[in-house]
Structure 1
Amino acid sequence: MSSIPCPKEIALAKTSCRELSALLKANGELINIQVIGVDGETHCLKLPTIAIQLMIEVLAQLGQGNGVRINPIQAELTTQQAADMLNMARPTFIKLLDSGVIAHYRTGNRRKVSFAEVTRYKQELDSKRLSALDELSALDQELSLGF
């Protein structure tokens, strides 16, 4: 999903998240759910706990008004997808690949990068940003700048 939920969807997501969370706490590793299809037929589903946990996380994000996109951890990303994930321009991302900062491989004339590698770089970047912010905060305290 790449669109932002409307207010009705946000409210429904919040309610569904609470219901699923309560269901998860009450059951074990396998959860049985009955779903009524558009044809009125009842379908019984057996879902693993990990699938319910993922649905709860998706609903929680939707309930906060966020759009959600799911990428498999082993997924291969195009350079544009990876650049979007890092909120940077594709040419900037290509420079990271060319400099060896992010591992990648080629299939024909196209570059591919693993979702896990982009996630690793993003976490590393976030960590450096937080460290710099901590340093600035400490310097602010030391100099009593009041920011």
Structure 2
Amino acid sequence: MTSTARTDFVRPDEAAMHTADVALGRMTKYLHSHHGKRNIRLVVDGDPKNTLEVPLAAIELLARVLAHMAAGQAVSVVPAHAELTTQQAADMLNVSRPYLIKLLDDGVIPHRKVGKHRRVRAEDLLGYKRQGDQKRRAIADELGELDREMGLY
């Protein structure tokens, strides 16, 4: 059984943005020079006796989190199987709750009902978001091509 997800966001201040940017640069260099590894060993507080072994996938995810933080964006980690309330889902899409409910009722985004309440799987919501992003990129590419054909660019 899945439970409703927590979607607490971490909003970086200027100092956190700078720290994230520096860490991202170092982490990116490390990942490029050590690709193919399954796990990464991290030394905590410079103490070789205090190491952590972390899956590479977790480090790659951390790099994405750092990239968003470095850009000043709020970040939250939500498991793919987690279920979101309609308000959480609307917040993640940056749309109103009534608009999201229309998408759900129209069958655009899968959901289930728990009593009178709708629940949306994070995985389904992110799939919808990815499709929209792909459509917007394709339209932008097409408009760019038309600009070039017309000599406007």
TM-score (normalizing by structure 2): 0.76
Residue 21 of structure 1 aligns with which residue? 28
Alignment of 1:1-147 (within 5 A): 2-24=9-31, 25-26=33-34, 28-36=37-45, 43-137=50-144, 146=152
In structure 2, how many angstroms separate the alpha carbons of the residues matched to 1:94 and 1:13? 36
Contact 2:86 2:118 (C-alpha < 8 Å) held by counterparts: yes
Given the superposition, is the C-alpha separation of residues 108 and 57 from structure 1 closer, same or farther in structure 2, using an over 3 Å criterion?
A: same
Contact 2:10 2:76 (C-alpha < 8 Å) held by counterparts: no
The structure with higher relative contact order (CA 8 Å, sep 6+) is 2
In structure 2, how many angstroms separate the alpha carbons of the residues matched to 1:132 and 1:6? 35
In structure 2, how many angstroms separate the alpha carbons of the residues matched to 1:15 and 1:51? 18
Q: CA deviation at 1:8?
A: 1.7
Contact 2:17 2:69 (C-alpha < 8 Å) held by counterparts: yes
Q: Which has the larger radius of gyration?
A: 1
TM-score (normalizing by structure 1): 0.79
RMSD after superposition: 2.7
**SS of residue paired to 1:9:** helix
What 5-or-longer segments of structure 2 have no aligned partner?
1-7
Among all aligned residue pairs of Structure 1 and Structure 2, give the percentage whose two residues are the same amino acid: 38
